[in-house]
Structure 1
């Protein structure tokens, strides 16, 4: 018995000696996390460099912008570039036009794409998968292929130089990447348990009631993602307003900034300040909604 106990103790002792100290794994995780942060920071520096260059140039005069070697801190800060740039052209009017289009397009896109996605994800009807496959195949159709027929159609309807060609397609899921938004929302709707729908139908709810009271409240992250994508797409849209708008009083910010560039090419401080002012709302929007954005993109596609 004693020999057996001694042999047993002798076997346990080396195993206990090989165990790492209690704080070793914690230190290893901290080192790994620190290395990850260093890699992310090094990767973010090249991405942020053009934006930093834009901001420093917006606060410099034309002589400082292209000095060699480059100076990163303006001396002095030319805050007058922003006031001069924003008053050189009616950017207030451009902003109003852009926001009118934004409200209509975002509203139409979120409404129609969510309804279509609900039909593909939660309702059972004949030919659903075939129609969805045809819908996805339209993504492979280049935008340039439909550009001329669409322009001819709106011209025949007398809708040129109006906001109609830029807003009405959104209410049919055809603007701001409508097919992609339908796909994104459908994938998110599939992650919601179907037992919630069945319980609501047993209580006498209609599909519209299920969509409005159950699916939409649970799909807030995905809806925010669609809103952000649509907002950014309309905000940066240059080709659409260029094709359909002729009156300068109806210009959007993207088109107004392009016309500003052609007029004030030599005044780089004004041009950089105007560009920074146009980009700022997008950054603010993502800053306040980044939690919903990341959550919606992460959860979408978990269930197919």
Structure 2
């Protein structure tokens, strides 16, 4: 059965059809590329302008005076090295705790099928309907006095790690992928004497590398760029992350140095995506397991 499109295949095979098709494709591609790349260009070039030129109206598209030393000045004056380390600790811990909680939870809901599992999944998905601002106060009260152990986690990276693990979207994403794994594969592992934990570690996780890459990227990026929650729980300036630091110094830092600090703070996430883009795209498009 042929698929109906706006332009028939016969029209596309003509010379005029090919010209129109590639012209429209090039214009759309250029438009999207400009929309995504121009903000990056504007931030990088803005950081290398003097503060006076950066405040000029109308703005200059290309810097008249290049000051690439702004990045080194921003690094030294804002002590970005220490806050980079704080942010790496927060993001790495959030990633480790999230996978340690979300993967077993999704595996249990998908393959172990506990009693009332669907009800538990439904209640987890309901939390996605709540605005994040509505959860700030109860989560903050929980962090300041953790139930059962009575520990105050303010100014502790664990105050960010633990809430990051309670992510219903990541659990649902993992569960949907685990649902695609054939039960026969797990039954064969069980017949060979593998228990649920060994089956998860030896069979499920190696197959699930694409979706694990997607969830990892989501968790790390969310922890890296988060602002409101680190601002609330990391009140000691020496423990704060880059996003909180940049907001704190914005009022007395030259604008070009502030933009340079923002560019430096965004470089790790851009590099992370470029390195793992194949795994991310594979995880987003994975819909079945090929034997």
Same fold by TM-score, threshold 0.5 exceeded? yes
Distance across 2 between alignment mates of 1:31 and 1:220: 41
Q: Deviation at 1:61? A: 0.5
1:51-70, Cα deviation, whole Å (9 max, x unpaired): 22111101111222243443
CA RMSD of the aligned region, Å? 2.4
Report whether the alignment pairs 1:280 with 2:267.
yes
Q: Deviation at 1:268? A: 1.5
TM-score under structure 2 length normalisation: 0.86
- Structure 2, gaps ≥5 residues long: 1-9, 146-150
Q: Deviation at 1:300? A: 5.2
Distance across 2 between alignment mates of 1:58 and 1:279: 13
Distance across 2 between alignment mates of 1:203 and 1:291: 34
2:47 to 33, 40, 58: 58
- Structure 1, gaps ≥5 residues long: 1-19
Q: Is the 8 A contact 1:154 1:160 kept in 2?
A: yes
TM-score under structure 1 length normalisation: 0.82
Distance across 2 between alignment mates of 1:283 and 1:92: 18
For 1:298, the equivalent position in structure 2 comes to: 285
Q: Is the 8 A contact 1:159 1:165 kept in 2?
A: yes
SS in 2 for 1:226: helix
Report whether the alignment pairs 1:75 with 2:79.
no
Q: Give aligned pairs, total.
A: 274
Larger of the two Rg values belongs to structure: 1
Assess, with a 3 A threshold, how the Cα gap between structure 1 residues 126 and 26 changes in structure 2: closer, same or farther.
farther
SS in 2 for 1:262: coil
Bigger mean CA deviation after superposition, 206-215 or 144-153: 144-153
Assess, with a 3 A threshold, how the Cα gap between structure 1 residues 297 and 274 changes in structure 2: closer, same or farther.
same
1:243-264, Cα deviation, whole Å (9 max, x unpaired): 1122211111111111121221
Q: Is the 8 A contact 1:184 1:301 kept in 2?
A: no
Assess, with a 3 A threshold, how the Cα gap between structure 1 residues 222 and 37 changes in structure 2: closer, same or farther.
farther
Q: Is the 8 A contact 1:184 1:300 kept in 2?
A: no
For 1:108, the equivalent position in structure 2 comes to: 97
1:166 to 160, 163, 166: 160
Distance across 1 between alignment mates of 2:174 and 2:71: 40
Q: Deviation at 1:233? A: 0.5
Distance across 2 between alignment mates of 1:216 and 1:95: 30
Bigger mean CA deviation after superposition, 105-114 or 58-67: 58-67
Distance across 1 between alignment mates of 2:288 and 2:239: 40
1:253-294, Cα deviation, whole Å (9 max, x unpaired): 111111121221xx2111111111111111111111111111
Distance across 2 between alignment mates of 1:282 and 1:26: 44
For 2:5, the equivalent position in structure 1 comes to: none
Q: Deviation at 1:37? A: 4.1
